[in-house]
């Protein structure tokens, strides 16, 4: 309790002001802590969102090439496409076995196999028009 030289009412008033100032400090601390917590939550949510997008991107990139060449019309091109798909699957298995640590070479091979698959489709389409 604050000691006052004046009347008893002034002492109570000063005591109330002290309590209010302590309360204001507590409120200020709570606001600061709340702001810190909000910033941490925002950072965590952004990290989770970025990680999810990364996983989705990897899943999209790891999709197997489409097999759409007719084996009846173009048996050799269809066989080449099937072998390309098998090679793609083996690369994915190798990546998983090595915990994806192949310095980007496996991904480059998968990209090239995807490109080969597109070229095989274009070859089949060109052969269909002739």
Give the start-to-end residue ranges of the domains of the chain. 1-61, 65-130
Phi then psi dihedrals of residue 79, to 5 deg: -65, -40
| Side-chain half-sphere CA neighbours of 115 within 13 A | 6
Give tens-digit pLDDT for 80-130. Answer: 999 999 999 999 999 888 877 788 899 999 999 999 999 999 999 999 887
Its pTM stands at: 0.49
Give tens-digit pLDDT for 5-37. Answer: 555 555 544 555 554 466 666 777 787 888 888
When comparing pLDDT for 59 and 57, which is higher? 57
């Amino acid at each position: 309790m604050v000691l006052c030289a004046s009347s008893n009412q002034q002492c109570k008033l000063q005591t109330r002001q002290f309590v209010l100032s302590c309360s204001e400090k507590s409120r200020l601390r709570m606001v600061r802590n709340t702001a810190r917590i909000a910033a941490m939550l925002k950072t965590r949510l952004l990290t989770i969102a970025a990680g999810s997008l990364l996983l989705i991107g990897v899943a999209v990139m790891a999709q197997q090439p489409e097999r759409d060449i007719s084996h009846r019309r173009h048996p050799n091109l269809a066989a080449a496409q099937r072998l390309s798909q098998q090679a793609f699957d083996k690369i994915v298995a190798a990546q998983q076995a090595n915990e994806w640590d192949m310095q980007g070479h496996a991904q480059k091979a998968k990209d090239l196999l995807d490109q080969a698959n597109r070229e095989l489709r274009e070859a089949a389409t060109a052969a269909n028009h002739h």
